[in-house]
Amino acid sequence: MITLGNPEELAILLREQRQQGHRIAFVPTMGNLHDGHISLVREASRLADFVVTSIYINPLQFGANEDLDKYPRTLEADQQKLQEAGNHLLFTPDSTAIYPEGLERHTKVIVPLLTEGLCGASRPGHFDGVTTVVNILFNMVQPDVALFGEKDYQQVAVIRKMVRDLRLPVEIRTGATVREVSGLAMSSRNGYLSEDQKAQAAQIYTTLTAMREQLLKAAHDLPTTIAWGIEALEEAGLRVDYLEIVNSDSLQAARDRSEPLTIAVAAFLGSTRLIDNLSLSPIRDTE
Ligand code: PAF
């Protein structure tokens, strides 16, 4: 596996791949790779001849009081995992390569509406940072297909919308959330949790699955199901940032069960913010 951080070298190498008629798959990440990322890389190598993964901790998507400085940096371990998963090229640009004139002066890509609720409401500007950097990375890599994890449900919806609106010539694929045996969704932020906290955090998935059961059985109306879920999470010692049942397409609060539904949650355990979701309708894989 080749590791490089220079966009010009990346362009030369990828041009050679394209000249050989190779299809390129891309997995953008912020590193500290876990089985969720690795399952995307494995799927990428099924879909394409040449797999590029990027590791770039994007300052533009972190708020002032968020964990940019302490975000885990584990390059050697990540390289090992990628090598084993059959990744061909690891792209590790620095901020000079991504934002040459600095964050403040850089053009931003903003997706309206879909970014207003859920994580967008709690983390103002977060998705502007995501769409801006993903756009830059797409332009640098020019992949045929790019893969993202369904754990970040809103992120996937926002990126699909950006790709559609800007006519970006890339196919977006998603990979199912990979979970610990306890049900806890794998996340780089789980590394901030003690073993006891991980057991506590597993209540997030337990609560989501119980809510899904309630919805499938039409046991209660939506607000009652949400109130039940908030209470269950609080009883488990979590501080709920949001717990919503949204329309899976618009991400607006759902009105009733006839809509495609996704239950989306963000909750704090100590200072660690965890997100998860569960859809009642299948998530579409291609546009
Ligand atoms: O999901 C992530 O790790 C990041 O938001 C992404 C897509 C790599 C953009 O920085």
Map out the domains of the chain with their CATH numbers. Answer: 2-175 (3.40.50.620), 188-279 (3.30.1300.10)
| pLDDT value at residue 282 | 52
Give the neighbor-by-neighbor strand order of the sheet with 261-269.
239-247, 261-269, 272-279
Which of 133, 140, 159, 170 is the best mutation target for the ligand 1 pocket, counting ligand atoms within 8 Å of the beta carbon and taking the most?
A: 133
Ligand 1 centre to CA of 28 (Å) is 6
| pLDDT value at residue 287 | 44
| pLDDT value at residue 286 | 43
Total-model pTM: 0.96
Pocket of ligand 1 (CB under 6 A): 28-30, 58, 61, 130, 133-134, 152, 155
Ligand 1 centre to CA of 283 (Å) is 19
Using the Cα atoms of residue 120, residue 124, residue 126 and residue 132 in order, give the sign of their dihedral: positive
| pLDDT value at residue 218 | 87
Question: Which regions in the chain score pLDDT beneath 70?
Answer: 281-287
Alpha-carbon dihedral 173, 127, 169, 152, rounded to 10 degrees: 0
Which of 26, 27, 30, 90 is the best mutation target for the ligand 1 pocket, counting ligand atoms within 8 Å of the beta carbon and taking the most?
A: 30
Q: Whose CA is nearest to atom 6 of ligand 1?
A: 29
Q: pLDDT tens digit string along 158-205?
A: 999 999 999 999 999 999 999 999 999 999 999 999 999 999 999 999
Ligand 1 centre to CA of 216 (Å) is 32
Ligand 1 centre to CA of 22 (Å) is 25
| pLDDT value at residue 219 | 82
Segment (H or E) for 175:
strand 171-175
CA 67/CA 32 separation, integer angstroms: 14
| pLDDT value at residue 162 | 98
Q: Which atom of ligand 1 is nearest to the CA of 149?
A: 1
Residue 248 is given by DSSP the state T
